[in-house]
Structure formats: structure tokens, C-alpha cells
Amino acid sequence: DSGVTQTPKHLITATGQRVTLRCSPRSGDLSVYWYQQSLDQGLQFLIQYYNGEERAKGNILERFSAQQFPDLHSELNLSSLELGDSALYFCASSVDGLAGATGELFFGEGSRLTVL
């Protein structure tokens, strides 16, 4: 158990809909990262937050947005969903925003999104 909690574990929805994925980082971790894992794209970095502020942005679509709240949990919002958005969405946390320099990323079990 990494200590990172993601909900829901599974989600099935229709094209055009909007969903919210939630992540609670490990206790004490200030930074949250979101990754998308699809069959043809591998693990793609979406966005990172550190202590409530956006720290880095990857290949995140404009239809997607995220935020980190004062209690450090994070939400990833996916809107106008398309079939190609079906993927496993991982959240990871690290104690600071320097995951590579100071240690590892701790990953949650992921939220599997299926868009029909």
C-alpha cells in the first residue's frame, strides 16, 4: 500500500460527459502528479501540483483540468469526454516537488475510465 488513495477505481461513462477523479496523497506529501496510461500512449505525464499551485504541465488536453486543494487532495476533471480518453489515470505523490531529485513517486492504484 503506497498510501496514495484514488477514487473511483472504475468509472464508465458516455461520450460528451464530464467526470472528476480524486486523489489523496500520502500523509505529509505536498506534491501531486497526474498520469494517463493508455494502451497506445504508455504513461503520459499530465500535470503536477505542489502545495496547491501548479508546478509543471505535460500533455494535458484543454478539456482536462486539475487542482489541488488546501488539504492537499487533488482532483482531475475530464470534460467533453471522447472514446480516446478511456485510460487508466494514475495519481502519484512525493514529499516535495522534487521527486526526481529527492526520491521516488508513490503511485495510487489508478482510476480506470471507460468512455462508451
Q: CA gyration radius for the chain?
A: 13
Q: Binding pattern to other proteins, positions 87-106, x when CB under 8 A?
A: -x-x-x----xxxxxxxxxx
Query: CA-based diameter of the chain, in Å?
Result: 41
**Residue nearer to other proteins on the CB measure, 38 or 79:** 38
**Cell numbers placing 5:** 488513495
Least distance between other proteins and beta carbon 104 (Å): 4
Min separation Cβ 38 and other proteins, Å: 11
C-alpha span between 82 and 16 (Å, rounded): 7
Q: How would you classify the pairing of strands 106-107 and 42-50?
A: unpaired
* Binding to other proteins, residues 49-78 (CB under 8 A): 55-56
Q: What does the binding site for other proteins look like in residue numbers (CB under 8 A)?
A: 2, 33, 35, 42-43, 45, 48, 55-56, 88, 90, 92, 97-110
